[in-house]
Amino acid sequence: MASGDPADNQPAGYVPPAVWVNQPSGGQFANINRPISGATHEKELPVGKHPLQLYSLGTPNGVKATIMLEELIDKGHAGAEYDAWLINIGQGDQFGSGFVDINPNSKIPALLDRSMNPAVRVFESGSIVFYLAEKFNEFLPAEIHKRTEVMNWVMWQMGAAPFIGGGFGHFYAYAPIKIEYAINRYAMEAKRLLHVLDTQLGKTEYIAGNDYTIADIANFTWFGALITEGYNAQEFLSTQDYTNVHRWYDLIAARPAVKRGRMVNRGQGEPASQLKERHDARDFEVNTEDQVLARGGTRI
């Protein structure tokens, strides 16, 4: 049990000051973290040919939006065609004035629907998948019990993500020092969340019942990554034990739209699996990163 003695703190002797003052803390994302909001520089966002303009990065939150859009296209919705522009958060693109105009929280993804006058800005990944589900009347049932169950699990995921990413992922993989207390605290929460999901998926084929919905899209990108590749922590978290989650993961991962959506705005992995920008369905055939590099950086 912790004694509460500052000598036991890390660093030894640390006592929180009466008033917090920002100072360099190190870590992978230290150069983009700051305690205030707003733009740091003037920069207009590019605009493509489609009404839907997505500004994003292939993180779990970003992939929610691209999977949703690709699923809508597979459903035959021509109006779901979109331009996806890469926002490099490591270089601070999210603090450009154009991006902040769409998302004052400076987090990806951000969507601009220019089919409306005035255009509709949509930020927060959960809001984006919900907005698109309502706009195209897909992946969100109308019947009140089913609809509410879907939204229960979407909101559950939005609440769970900070514990997985900013909590477990940060302290296990990204923090400049390993803090046993923090890692144990968030590992416990990550495993509890996995158990919640595994228990639910032992009762239903998909998260909210027998139909594929935005609840599956929202949860797949976070929990799918956690059990297969996220933070290189699968052995540490014994993710093989969550057999229902693995069954569900395989079911979702096999969908063609999911495979495409996971490629868009991706900046890591094999070049053949990366489509840094997406402006047309043909891009998946001719503009994957391996092909772009082979042409000397030229997209066609």
CATH of region 144-260: 1.20.1050.10
52-136 fold = Glutaredoxin (3.40.30)
Same fold, 52-136 and 144-260: no
Among 42, 46, 164, which Cα is nearest to 112's? 46
Q: Residue ranges of the domains in the chain?
A: 52-136, 144-260, 266-294
pLDDT tens digits, one per residue of 138-166: 999 999 999 999 999 999 999 999 999 99
Q: What percent of the chain has pLDDT over 90?
A: 90
Rounded Cα distance, 8 and 259, in Å:
48
Closest CA relative to residue 264, chosen from 51, 100, 55: 55
Q: What is the pLDDT of residues 111-138, one digit of tens each?
A: 999 999 999 999 999 999 999 999 999 9
Give dist(CA 125, CA 169) in Å, integer: 19
Its pTM stands at 0.95
pLDDT tens figures, 89-114: 999 999 999 999 999 999 999 999 99
d(CA 298, CA 40) in angstroms, rounded, equals 30
Residue 1 has pLDDT above 60, yes or no: no
Confidence band of 10 (pLDDT split at 50, 70, 90): confident
Sheet order of strands, 110-113 included: 82-86, 52-56, 110-113, 120-123
% residues pLDDT > 70 (the chain): 99
Element (H, E) at 269: none
Can you state the percent helix, strand and coil of the chain, rounding each to 5?
A: 50, 10, 40
More confident residue, 14 or 44: 44
Bridge partners, residue 121, by sequence:
112
CA distance 5 to 172: 25
